[in-house]
Structure 1
Amino acid sequence: MKRAALFLALAGTAMSLAVRAQPAPPIRIGIIFPLTGGSADMGNSARVGAQVAVDEINEVGGYLGRKLELVVRDDKADNDTGLKLAQELVNSEKVAATIGFCNTGVAMKALDVFQSNKSVLIVPCATGTAITAKYPPADSYIFRMSARDQLQTQFLVDEVVRRGLTHVALLVDNSGYGDAGLKDLEAALARAGLKPAAVVRFKLGVQNLEPEMQQLKASGADALIGWTVGPEQGVISAARAAVGWKVPQLGPWGLSHASAFATSQGRVEGTAMVQTVVPNFFLERNSAFVRHYAKVSNETPIGSMMSAAQTYDSVNLLLRAMFDSKGDLSGPALKHALENPGNIYRGVVSTYDRAFSASDHDAISGNMLWLGTWRNGERGYYYKDDERRASIIRRKETTAVAKQSAQPAAQ
């Protein structure tokens, strides 16, 4: 009997130790991006950016010994698919938070899922102005790391005015993204006392825009702003070259996607586009990120540098919120922590003293934008002066009125 009791005691102790030795369950983070289809360059770059961040975090122990785990879903740039996947991640997978959406229409259809369930969503790519305007920031669980279209359109119009151009032609796709972008463009032009010289709309998926380009050329415009996503930006550049129209071509961040370069067969060279970040090997965090990215994906150039970097920063800001919430990973706790960060975050895109607040859920302000271009098959700074000043980090402005000048700050 004594032997049996001793055996049972030892067995019980061994089982207790085995239970205690089991690793803590991972913290699961939802990921929703278009991994297939026309927006796949954005989506896959964002996915790799998230993986780079998670790999680095897990290498140093994760969150208090708990690994981070990505629960990845492909929304295919389809609104209904995005809604279904949002419901799955929040209600079935019970993720701690979600990072996702590259397409404004897909994001807008899914926002209610996160808001009604008080589940944090960080949008690293989609730029539609309405995304962070649908709910008052004080109540909203929606945060964003990309530059909203209202900022991008103002930036482009400011550049047009800076060059002394006055007759701007607009070539805009007929998606919800195009509708909202056109509204923002016309408002920005009106603030500058300008009207579009011509406005032409087109369908997504178009393969040739030469007739439309001839129409715009005949308008006598002295500048062209194309408003659409990556592949169609390439179609615009190819058509502009084909009709021999040599006016400046400007566009939002989609003009910087690798699909724009590939579709145009390099004819995007010399165009100008809005950027929050440009590959720069003289910036330590920037160059380290590009090197780590290359270990996960060997794509050259990166499909979308901005998607990748903004998603990387999203994961790291979420991790800091987990620490600031002191172990409470509920939606309300993470929301409060994101709005009230305990420390500065030195990211790839910028150094954030406070990316978000209870009154502002957009991490990017107008002063943080750069004018980029395609140069020798890679993205670069349009102006050499910007390239020389790039080591001066442009931090988010907290004033109500965003300025277009950089704020010097140490890295």
Structure 2
Amino acid sequence: MWTTCGRALLFCALSVTHTFNFAQTDQTLKIGVSGPFSGGSAPMGDSMRNGIRLAVEEINSVGGINGRKIELIERDDAAKPDVGAKIADELTQKKVVATIGIVNTGVGLASIDAYQKAKIPLLVAVSTGTMLTRKYAPPAAPENYIFRISPTLDLEAKVVVADLKRKGISRAAILADATAFGQDGLKAFHTQARTAGIAVAFEERFEIGDQDMSGQIKRARASGAQALVVWGIGPELAAIARNKEALGWKVPLLGSWTLSMRSFIDLSGKAGQGALMPQTFIQDFGSASKNSFLLAYERIFKTDMIPSPMSAAQGYDGMHLLCLAIIQANSTDGSKIKDALENLKSRYQGVITSYNKPFSGEDHDAITHNMLLMGVVASGRVDYAYTEDEKRGALLRMKAR
């Protein structure tokens, strides 16, 4: 079994085979972490941070990188773009080696300019906002310092629309929150629905904190929609599910990956049963690396109830990939770490997939369509929606080229 110890031994072996261009000091390697650790997005931020912390514990347990321990500089952006921008400025001024995090698209859009200007790599672990990795992609800029280990909104929308087609649905309604995440999700869904020949019979926005959306549900039902698609964060999505059930509208509920959040499952109760969403990671025992991760998470954080399993897994894998890049770069220089990420020589068996050259100079998104599975809320947890997805979940879902 590829255990936590096995992962640590890998980093130990890598460390001793390089002579690093690091100053021979006792200073730590400082890596920034930006995420929402308070507010409605905290379940994602806390889970992501726990995944990152778990990876760092594994690496530091064998002496870190060339004898230098990793120190996480954690900052709570509270899902607020202005706060995220200030954190990005602070972390780049502190000259962190790199930063990992970013849960909310609005925060990401407000943060990326600072990292790009400072030539410090930012690895987006949770946000699916498509523009985050594309704004500085060639030819827009000669170098791009923004990377991502989460799926894009485009991929999510493609999977959701494919499931609608699978169910024979030709008319769908969509409700999206009033954030950048909701706006981009709405746009991506329209694009994919149009390509697939699915009519958007109704669309409307809602605000963060809204708890009664009966009016929107009534109007969506009146449109003749055969399914309801939602794009937002857990608490508001739970309110939609409860309103939908109270009105007796029995059509499928599908949406963004955030339907897998513990806050949605707990707050929606039986009204959330059957909700469908794209996933990179479903919390069940399977591969040796997944088993090791889940057991270590429970051991360290004293719970097997991960508020957002997908966020935790992506934070964990992202941190390990970042460290592999630092090792390969033989330096803490941002441009060299960027180059290493774009040309990773080591294949890494993560908990989501086996990463073999996950990035290139032209492509800074590690996740491709074939890696996504369809999850369903069932019996108070997220399970595989289909038997074939469960079978695929046990296989190596390598990046599509």
Structure 2 length normalisation: TM-score?
0.91
Q: Which moved more, 1:36-45 or 1:231-240?
A: 231-240
Equivalence for 1:405: none
Distance in 1 (CA, whole Å) between partners of 2:123 and 2:303 is 25
Deviation of 1:202 (Å): 1.2
2:383 maps to amino acid: G
Equivalence for 2:169: 165
Say whether the 8 Å CA contact 2:297–2:304 is kept in structure 1: no
Match of 1:314 among 312, 315, 318: 318
Equivalence for 2:396: 393
Say whether the 8 Å CA contact 1:301–1:378 is kept in structure 2: no
Does 1:130 find its partner at 2:134? no
Distance in 1 (CA, whole Å) between partners of 2:43 and 2:270 is 16
Deviation of 1:23 (Å): 7.0
Deviation of 1:340 (Å): 0.4
Match of 2:54 among 44, 48, 52: 52
Match of 2:200, SS?
Answer: coil
Equivalence for 1:64: 66
Say whether the 8 Å CA contact 2:373–2:393 is kept in structure 1: no
Does 1:289 find its partner at 2:293? yes
Q: For residues 51-86 of structure 1, give each alpha carbon's deviation from its aligned partner in whole angstroms, at most 9, with x where no partner exists.
A: 100011111221111111111100011111111111
Say whether the 8 Å CA contact 1:29–1:99 is kept in structure 2: yes
Does 1:96 find its partner at 2:97? yes
Equivalence for 1:17: none
Say whether the 8 Å CA contact 1:48–1:296 is kept in structure 2: no
Say whether the 8 Å CA contact 2:259–2:277 is kept in structure 1: yes
Equivalence for 2:37: 35
Say whether the 8 Å CA contact 1:279–1:287 is kept in structure 2: no
Q: Superposition RMSD on alpha carbons, in Å?
A: 1.4
Q: Which moved more, 1:109-118 or 1:381-390?
A: 381-390
Say whether the 8 Å CA contact 2:33–2:73 is kept in structure 1: yes
RCO (CA 8 Å, sep 6+): is it higher in 1 or 2? Answer: 2
Does 1:278 find its partner at 2:274? no
Deviation of 1:159 (Å): 1.1
Over the matched positions of the two proteins, sequence identity in percent amounts to 41
Say whether the 8 Å CA contact 2:50–2:312 is kept in structure 1: yes
Deviation of 1:330 (Å): 0.7
Equivalence for 1:182: 186
Distance in 1 (CA, whole Å) between partners of 2:80 and 2:58 is 31
Deviation of 1:282 (Å): 2.1
Does 1:221 find its partner at 2:238? no
Deviation of 1:280 (Å): 2.2
Distance in 1 (CA, whole Å) between partners of 2:270 and 2:30 is 40
Equivalence for 2:360: 357
Q: Which moved more, 1:121-130 or 1:188-197?
A: 188-197
Please list, as runs of the form range in 1=range in 2, the aligned pairs for 1:324-343 lying within 5 A after superposition: 324-326=328-330, 328-343=331-346
Distance in 1 (CA, whole Å) between partners of 2:214 and 2:378 is 24
Deviation of 1:267 (Å): 2.4
Match of 1:41, SS?
Answer: helix
Match of 1:47, SS?
Answer: helix
Distance in 2 (CA, whole Å) between partners of 1:356 and 1:268 is 36
Say whether the 8 Å CA contact 2:294–2:304 is kept in structure 1: no
Distance in 2 (CA, whole Å) between partners of 1:74 and 1:169 is 34
Distance in 1 (CA, whole Å) between partners of 2:85 and 2:175 is 29
Distance in 2 (CA, whole Å) between partners of 1:293 and 1:360 is 31
Deviation of 1:227 (Å): 0.8
Distance in 1 (CA, whole Å) between partners of 2:52 and 2:194 is 39
Q: For residues 154-198 of structure 1, give each alpha carbon's deviation from its aligned partner in whole angstroms, at most 9, with x where no partner exists.
A: 111111112111011111112221111111111111111222011
Equivalence for 2:20: none
2:65 maps to amino acid: Y
Structure 1 length normalisation: TM-score?
0.89
Q: Which moved more, 1:39-48 or 1:134-143?
A: 134-143
Runs ≥4 in structure 1, deviation > 3 angstroms?
Answer: none
Equivalence for 1:113: 114
Deviation of 1:240 (Å): 1.4
Please list, as runs of the form range in 1=range in 2, the aligned pairs for 1:191-206 lying within 5 A after superposition: 191-206=195-210
Match of 2:64, SS?
Answer: coil
Deviation of 1:300 (Å): 5.1
Equivalence for 1:305: 309
Equivalence for 1:77: 79
Deviation of 1:130 (Å): 0.9
Query: What stretches of structure 1 of length at least 5 have no aligned partner?
Result: 1-21, 399-411
1:97 maps to amino acid: A
Deviation of 1:388 (Å): 2.9
Deviation of 1:390 (Å): 2.1
1:385 maps to amino acid: E
Number of residue pairs matched by the alignment = 375
Q: Which moved more, 1:255-264 or 1:290-299?
A: 290-299
Match of 2:248, SS?
Answer: coil
Distance in 1 (CA, whole Å) between partners of 2:291 and 2:25 is 34
Distance in 2 (CA, whole Å) between partners of 1:83 and 1:295 is 34
Match of 1:70, SS?
Answer: strand
Q: For residues 253-285 of structure 1, give each alpha carbon's deviation from its aligned partner in whole angstroms, at most 9, with x where no partner exists.
A: 110011111221342221110101111212211
Does 1:141 find its partner at 2:145? yes
Distance in 2 (CA, whole Å) between partners of 1:217 and 1:120 is 46
Query: What stretches of structure 2 of length at least 5 have no aligned partner?
Result: 1-23
Distance in 1 (CA, whole Å) between partners of 2:271 and 2:92 is 42
